[in-house]
Structure 1
Amino acid sequence: MAVVLDTSSCLPERRLAVWQDIVCDTFVGLDCKSDMRGAFWGSVSQSRIGQIALTQVDSTAQRVFRTPSRIARASEDFVLMALGNNGVNGVFQDGREAVVSAGQFVIYDTTRPYELRFDDSFSQTIFQMPRKLLQQRVGSFDGLTATTFAGDRPLDRLTYDFARNVSKTIELVGPAAATRLLDQALDLLAMTLAERLHARLPDQSVHRSALLYRLKNHILTHLFDHELSLPRAAAAVGISPRYASDLMADEQTSFRGYVQAQRLERCKRDLADPAHQARHIGEIAFAWGFNDLAHFSRIFKQRFGVSPREWREQPGK
């Protein structure tokens, strides 16, 4: 159920102050300024699926700041993907400026200062996700904050359209379907970021990021394969096993640890999906590359705090 908050019931002179509270409660600690005074208005509608929040924002001209002092007092580690629906938005972060209008999108990071500038009324759809959900798909993407992803690029347009349609559909489907749609949106966003990274000058860091994305993509598309191994994955990407291990070490993980974590996440998702209710727990585990049910059950409980059976039987997962 979407939560809707707006300033329509407030006295005109109180609307900006109320909006300040709404924005901070909805996103992360922010400061809002506007010269609209009594003419100011704003509305947000937010849905939350697991760790991801989707928010529709409609408001008048304003400036929004994520300051160092706000960051120092917070523990959030989110990436925001803002889709422009109407109006024009300026985004400033990491020494870059992006201008985003209808049909375009931008990403920014809550762990570093940023400024959002809206010179007129606007409408946006914002995906707020833990950084790790995107980082585990594409590696480092810090060089792409405050970058305009425009509709004149085919993959940019596909990502925008899919994410926008997901935001309109998320309240109309069940939790399992919503989770799958969000996974697909994140996969598509990661692919778009990787393409942009690859298109830039091939310095060492960008080259490593592109290789890491290709390595992770091979892993994620072969999780079901019982023969998935570091040598095979490295060969598929065209690098040595040692270099592949170094790339995974950049992410503070190992090949084995990453594969196991991703397999567990997909088993957890399928165990919660009513569409897989008739399947035995072992069948699901084996389908995602595990070959020892006792081992699977043990590491599942270590990671999630409950056994696979207990997780499946939990109401309202």
Structure 2
Amino acid sequence: MSLKSWHFSTQAISTEQRSQVWREAMTAACLPHSATPISEAFEGDVHGIVSPIGIEFSRMRATPLTISGSFRNQQPALWLALLLEGRSMFVGSGERVSVARGDMLYGPCGLDSTLELYADFRLLYVRVPTSLLHPGLVDPRRLSAGMLPADSSLTRVLAAMLRAVGDELEYFDADHIHPIEVAVSEFLTASLTGHVAAYTLGDRKRSEHFVRICQAIDQQLGNADLSLNTITEQQHVSSRYVQKLFEDAGMSFTGYVRERRLERCRQELMSPAHRALSVSEICFRWGFNDAAHFSRSFRARFDMTPRECRKGGGVVIDEAESA
């Protein structure tokens, strides 16, 4: 799958056509829009790209505008909105929050909210498919819309990266966007874990411990010998304690490790930056020690073989290569 891009602008468009063009732009960005015609003085443009693994980045520039409601017809995803320039007011979950340049909002797609944008503004809107988020750590169904904490170092790093993405959006290709895809999903998960602590495990201390365990696993996915005993010894806890944490989060230790390894493999199979690696090399690189078992697991998870996934990423397959 290659990088897709699109662009809509009201510039050089007749007054009669502006409302239709803007509705098309908002639809392309999966943002709600009003059926009420925009004013004659309105000006705006939206530039968007869709990364190979399905993350959508849309940069909007416009005169004052209110975005309200939700866009219903879309795949499950979590959205981020970073105000690049201007000021606005966000209304979500019954609260009104002032939003300044650099503030970052989030929420599950499909949930009604309102963003009132004052004066001329620039906004980066990002949609991350839920399949790219850590299973069990971030459940959009349990999240309401809100603002990521500005005092968090993770949030500041994520915001800085997204600001750079917004500034360079037109110039990205599939090779350049891949590390950003991975970083966005990882930073977003890490930034949101504190918001779901009360929901995943019911206790903040246990939830934070669960997050540390998951992070320890993620750092060792390439180790084929990674086991429950490895983690319990490193974390100085019992096997039963770790198993109970995963049970409370609705998964198992083994299932989590397999899911994360398969997702890492899928990302690299779709990445032009990893086209020099064979399917088997990617498989072993992420901790699988049996290529046939990996291929069966991959197909069961993604409904395609590893080779079909790579072909879908636009990478030429050597017919002699094993899967």
- TM-score under structure 1 normalisation? 0.81
Cα distance in 1 for partners of 2:34, 2:205 equals: 38
For the 8 Å contact 1:2–1:46, the answer to whether it is kept is: yes
How many residues get paired? 308
Q: Residue 15 of structure 2 aligns with which residue?
A: 12
Cα distance in 1 for partners of 2:149, 2:219 equals: 26
Q: Does 1:43 pair with 2:45?
A: yes
Q: 1:80 to 1:277 in 2, by over 3 A?
A: closer
Cα distance in 1 for partners of 2:245, 2:90 equals: 31
1:13 CA drift (Å) = 5.2
Cα distance in 2 for partners of 1:301, 1:88 equals: 47
1:260 to 253, 258, 268: 258
Greater relative CO (CA pairs within 8 A, separation 6+): 2
For the 8 Å contact 1:65–1:113, the answer to whether it is kept is: yes
Identity across aligned pairs (percent)? 26
Q: Residue 133 of structure 1 aligns with which residue?
A: 132
Cα distance in 1 for partners of 2:5, 2:287 equals: 37
Cα distance in 2 for partners of 1:210, 1:144 equals: 20
Which amino acid in 1 is paired with 2:34?
C
Cα distance in 2 for partners of 1:83, 1:92 equals: 15
Task: Tell me which protein shows more helix as a share of its residues.
Answer: 1
1:225 CA drift (Å) = 1.5
1:130 CA drift (Å) = 1.4
Q: Is there any run of 5+ residues in structure 1 with no aligned partner, and where?
A: none
Which amino acid in 1 is paired with 2:145?
T
Deviates more, 1:291-300 or 1:17-26: 17-26
1:243 CA drift (Å) = 4.2
Deviates more, 1:49-58 or 1:304-313: 304-313
For the 8 Å contact 2:136–2:249, the answer to whether it is kept is: no
1:55-94 mapped onto 2 (5 Å cutoff): 55-66=58-69, 71=72, 74-94=73-93
- TM-score under structure 2 normalisation? 0.80
For the 8 Å contact 1:34–1:63, the answer to whether it is kept is: no
SS at match of 1:111: coil
Cα distance in 1 for partners of 2:95, 2:69 equals: 15
For the 8 Å contact 1:54–1:126, the answer to whether it is kept is: yes
Cα distance in 2 for partners of 1:230, 1:171 equals: 45
Q: Is there any run of 5+ residues in structure 2 with no aligned partner, and where?
A: 316-323
For the 8 Å contact 1:16–1:41, the answer to whether it is kept is: no
Coordinate RMSD, CA, aligned: 3.2
Q: Does 1:185 pair with 2:184?
A: yes
1:107 CA drift (Å) = 0.9
Q: 1:135 to 1:90 in 2, by over 3 A?
A: farther
1:123-202 mapped onto 2 (5 Å cutoff): 123-136=122-135, 138-140=137-139, 142=142, 145-150=145-150, 153-169=152-168, 172=171, 174-194=173-193
